[in-house]
Amino acid sequence: MSFKDAVVTISGLNGVQANELIYFEGGASGVALNLEYGIVKALVFGGANSVRTSETVKRSHVVMRVGVGANILGRIINPLGVAIDGLGDIEFESFNPIEKKAPGVITRKKINQPIETGLKIVDSLVPIGRGQRELILGDRKTGKTTIALDAIINQLASQAKFRDAVSCIYVAVGKRMSEIVRIARLLRQKGAMDYTAVVVARASDPASLQFIAPYSACTMAEYFTYKGDHSLIIYDDLSRHADAYRQISLLLRRPVGREAYPGDIFYLHSRLLERAVKLDFAYGGGSLTALPVVETVQGDVSAYIPTNVISITDGQIYLDLNRHQEGIRPAVDPGLSVSRVGSSAQSKLMKKLAGSLKLELAQFREVEQFSKFGSELDPTTRSLLLRGRLMVNLLKQGRNTPLPTYKQLAMFYISSSKFFKENVMAVEGIDVDAYFASLFCFFEIASLMVPTKVALEKQSNIERAELIDALLGTHLRIFLNVEQFQVNHAKSMTKKNELRLINSSLYGDTVDSGLKGSAPVSENIL
């Protein structure tokens, strides 16, 4: 046996099969990949010191397997199923192959149930259904991981529902350990770690572990799917997974193709993502939703790996660097983002409200480009631009703050109402986020938040629409009065701060003397 860069060449290992697990004399393990005449080339799951030359190798007579079971939830493990969080070993229910044939057409069912991410722009414009494969792509530091984590955090609401809870698997490929610790800490703080497992292949780990990480995690997620439950898996990210496979293929001396990737790079990801499924009720009715992440360079979506994964998945969420730098978060570009099957899982109300929203944003983007070339705009164009900017602000959302679906419905319905267009939009410089936050508090105080969905679904009722408009009018008057009070208070505090500065310059350390007692000199100056 000879060893070089995590690839070993073994002679005399007769009868071994492809992807078979093998064991080395020193205790390390590996998997057979290349079967050549008289020799076998295999990957070693360990560092340079894990095996020695001329070491004895034994067959296991089984393909590569990983432990599965409900006990992985709440744990941080490596692709071999070994816990690395210091909480002890994991007791698995069974061991399943990491490579598995994708479900056939007969076993599948049409996607008809949504998986809410809690992000307004995603759930309305780029909806995701259970069993769908939706790609998240964009440049570095544009919020790709944040969207994936928000989707996990938002599944907390589904945990109380029988047979509707979603178990989550987050796969980190090629990430630093400090970043993985930050992600695990965030999930624990949000209460999401109870139904989430984190599978880790660090940047310092061998390429062999980074290569098998997505397949091992997919097998773990399939355990819940084939029990009739629902699971969500995040592959973060497949660009680094492709790089690891390219490194392995070069070491195995396989023929190279475009950008030095091997010829089967497409099959590498297609056989993984095709395992996402919505099963028919005759086969349990479970689902496995996949959200792969791919990194682009300078927004080039036509690069090799991005185009491969785009052609495999059912749509993509594209994050634009320019929008991110402008402060629009999430930086989702509605023009380049699409969900091919997710709309069939949307509720009728959300589909109706989102339909008008898409049209308004498309018109706004077109008019905004032309408005840059001219200074004089007609009233209709100015109104359209104002409406578009309000919609863009409406879709903004802070990180790790998912919004329940019923609140999203209320926001979209109210923003499309006649009252909002004629009254709220007439208020110059209104803060949309503050307005809706105040409105939800007002509804909750008025005990109206629970039947909101029922009220919206019956919006054709004239009396109910008039009641909602009356409530919106009452709230707007309260909101504007409070806002005016805050403005006056801010002006008052500014004046007091100026007074402190003047007193400080006149009296030295006795800064507050003009506020607590008499300060004739400073008062005369003011």
Alpha-carbon distance of 408 to 416, in angstroms, equals: 12
Alpha-carbon distance of 118 to 408, in angstroms, equals: 8
Q: What angle do CA 26, 21, 56 make, to 5 degrees?
A: 35
pLDDT at 410: 84
Cα–Cα distances in Å, from 228 out to 151, 221, 225?
Answer: 21, 12, 5
Q: What angle do CA 90, 96, 100 make, to 5 degrees?
A: 140
- CB distance 67 to 92 below 8 Å: yes
pLDDT at 175: 94
pLDDT at 503: 54
pTM for the structure as a whole: 0.86
Structure tokens at 174: 């090629």
- CB distance 153 to 442 below 8 Å: no
pLDDT at 268: 96
pLDDT at 305: 96
* Helix (H), strand (E), coil (C) string for 66-98: EEECHHHCCCEECCCCCECCCCCCCCCCEEEEC
Active site residues: 340
Structure tokens at 327: 């402060």
**Whether residue 85 has a cis bond before it, omega within 30° of 0:** no
DSSP summary character for residue 262: B
CA dihedral 241, 245, 246, 251 (to 10 degrees): 150
- CB distance 32 to 40 below 8 Å: yes
Reference 438, options 457, 464, 410, 418; nearest CA is 410
Spell out the domains of the chain, with CATH numbers in brackets: 2-63 (2.40.30.20), 66-342 (3.40.50.300), 351-482 (1.20.150.20)
Report the 10 Å Cβ neighbour count for 395.
Answer: 23
To which H or E segment does residue 524 belong? Answer: helix 520-525
Phi, psi at residue 325, to the nearest 5°? -70, -25
Tell me the sheet residues that pair with 201.
173
Reference 293, options 359, 214, 198; nearest CA is 214
Q: Would you give per-residue pLDDT tens digits along the chain (526 residues)?
A: 566 667 899 998 888 999 999 999 888 899 999 998 889 999 998 766 778 888 889 999 999 999 999 999 999 999 999 999 999 999 999 999 999 999 999 999 999 999 999 999 999 999 999 999 999 999 999 999 999 999 999 999 888 777 789 999 999 999 999 999 999 999 999 999 999 999 999 999 999 999 999 999 999 999 999 999 999 999 998 999 999 999 999 999 899 999 999 999 999 999 999 999 999 999 999 999 999 999 999 999 999 999 999 999 999 999 999 999 989 999 999 989 999 998 899 988 888 888 878 888 888 888 887 777 766 778 778 888 888 888 888 899 999 999 998 889 888 888 888 888 787 777 767 778 788 888 888 777 765 554 554 555 544 556 556 667 777 888 888 888 766 555 555 655 565 565 566 555 544 554 444 333 433 333 332 2
pLDDT at 512: 43
Q: Are strands 338-339 and 94-97 parallel, antiparallel or unpaired?
A: unpaired
Phi, psi at residue 41, to the nearest 5°? -105, 130
